Chain A
Amino acid sequence: MSETVKAPETTGQPADSAVAAAKPAVRKDPHAEAKRQRVVTPEYLFLEAPRTKEFITGSEAAKEAIRRSNVDLAIAYPITPQSETMQLVGVLYGEGYVKEYYRGEEEVGVMAAIAGGSRAGVRCYTATAGPGTLRGLEGIASWPGHRLPVVAMFTCRVVNAPLAIQPDNIEVAYLLNCGMIVFHAENQQDMYDFTLAGFTISEKNDVTLPVGVCCDGFFVTHARGYVRMQDRSMKLPPREAWRGAVPVLDAENPPARLSRDAPVQKSNFMAYNIHAVWQQEVWAAVERSRKYINQYMGGLLTAENVEGAEAVIIASGSAAAQSREAVRICAEKGIKIGLIKIRSLRPFPTQELRALCGNAKLIVVPEFNYVGWLAKEVATAIYGFSKAKIIGGPRVYGGQSMPVELIVDEVESGLTGKKSTNVAQSSVMGGAVNQDDVAHFMRSI
């Protein structure tokens, strides 16, 4: 790390500094630098603070985000490819940047403990991956209903059989229906920005929901990329739990909402009504997070050269990085092509896509999983608002890299009607496609 550390400013620790200055032989306080951090507003941190560029891994980018996030409680449980991330957060605990840190028993315990920490009013962070995500999913799926602000990182890897310690983002499909906010990071920079913004958005009163920051494991966590970061002497304001949508739990405040609406085992009108109320609250809160995503992250998606394009690639995560190269190759071949990168999967940029894809003729959705969850999301969002033919592919999975050439091939096959040479499964939907193609797609889902 080559960041320059600013000279300490008056930060409410004058006594310590004075003592340390008076006795030069005194043991150096390992928390000294953390104690000198000063709180700045999220608006200043995200939108104004100067940044310096570093060349770091995705795990290190997450660590640097946590350093500036004023986290109270981080709980680790190792699973590849996330282990290094939480290990680095442990280093931050040693340096005093994170107040509490421990290794959980396994993911069920971790997610339950994170729920407890968040319910008690402190800022919580954890990370897991692949099989760990699914093991912890029971707890994770209950966080939104209980209105628990949390940031959890998911460094996606294979979960379906045959199991592999390889990249594959199928686990995102399971997270999409929990009621949590879900971001998908393309690179190390996104890992950093989305994590920091995640805490702020998660704790907004009219949101009060967990945020999942997903990335494609290994490709982002283990590879280095350029990350522009604010100075490490700054951090977010602490969580102000009283701002939350539900009261926090302590010795005097029982979990009132949960006591009132205790798990209702009777099948009666009240039970259904309570369930409807909780879930309506959750999904309305997801909707309300849109304005904060626009404010702090610059939008739910980014769009380049979509106007007047012959074809548009829509991608998220590492598939967006691959698509940037496909755009370059298509441009060299004289194909006018646009790129839409989706940052936020929940809430999903439905209105934005309808506006952008109204005149599109061909949409190609490359993905790092077998089922094509993003293609389905896109098709659902623009149904009735676009006549575009949608090619759900190329798809790679089980750890395969995505050759950029496969994306170009799908674009060309979509434009010319020639058969795609992809070995990987792809599928066609929407637009004026022939029924055989549609039938093939229906069989494929």
Chain B
Amino acid sequence: MKRLILVVLFMTVLSLIVPAKTTITLWHAMSGANLTALEAIVKDFNASQSEVEVVPVFTGTYAETLTKAIAAFRNNTHPHIVQVYEVGLQTMLDSGAIVPVFELAEPGFDWGDIVVPILNYYSVDGKLYSMPFNSSTAILYYNKDIFQKAGLDPNKPPTTFDEVFEYGKKIVESKAALGGIAFGWPAWVFEQMHALHAQFYANNENGRKAKASEVYFNKDFGVKVFSEWIRWAQSGVLVYGGREYNANNAFLAGQVAMLIQSTSSVGSIESKASFKVGTTFLPRIPGYPKGNSVIGGATLWVMKGKSKEEYKAVWEFLKFVAKPEVSQKWHKSTGYFPTSNSALKGLLDEGWFSVRPNHLTAFLQILSGINRPESQGVRLGNFVAIRDVVDSAFEKALQYKGPDIEKTAKAILDDAAKQCNQILKDYISLYGK
């Protein structure tokens, strides 16, 4: 008995001397080079202080991470922080399962330093709901060696749809490469095209004024884009490259000369490519008003139901992530945007962009575009399901071999729109307008 008391006493004293660390779990979807970069950030944070220990857990793809977080919330085993991609925005806002970061933040925190398009994307009524972390946008990558082989100027990448088609045909006909161009995340590229040409993707200002109840992508503009893509595919210029990052392999293997992909692939493409990589802005269709490319990637959402002390720890970590030096390091190793203006300035000052100009392309694109409601980013209920429908529509369109291109594009998009409108209707029936 005496000994037991002694042990208990000893433990109590020990716990007083060594302050217990607050453990914060972070669920994320970063794999490959991005995983290493994320773990480095967490390690630096844990080493920088002694009160908080952040534990990162890889939980699969973006869609899987979101699903797991939802399932965990229903069982009350959810993490403190979860990384959710832009597609999950409306779902998270309506979930009743989150603590908005503007409520979490200490008073006087300078939100103004965050890059404007990113801030806009994740804000509701001027208030930021989740912490910007890995933001990106789509750009055009091209293989300079193939351009040269096909007799094209490697320093003059295409800027319009017609040029992409023309160059692509030259590349295919001269056998410089098997295909002209491939896309990563095709449904996202389709959204990008709408934003870039100042076209709404859904009603109620892309679902930002009130919940969207109808998609607009089967209107004239969407049909035009799809028709162009079918035309490209029919002459072998556009090659299908999967729904996420598979197209990168075709590009790296020199099978396609151009690639539309997230800027987050800049790091890995530059390090793996055995050819000169060029990057440029997304191609446009002349005759439409100018908009801007739209933000993709993910942010960090804080989940409900934890103690006050834990939230303090969460905020410490989020503040650390937002630091310019952390943001710069993250950008350098992945290609994601540095999220703050001061981080950007620092990179500029140290000359990073003159050494790695491809890391600048996405930035220039998004800062030179015109920010208007159409290009602020789409917010849809159950967007995950809608992406899926549009991806399928894209795959169906690319298989069409006949001559009625416009009619087929319209029919495929109408069918997809019907499914999406049903999804939106169901969502509104649950959450109201």
A and B interact: no
Interface residues of A (CB under 8 A from B): none
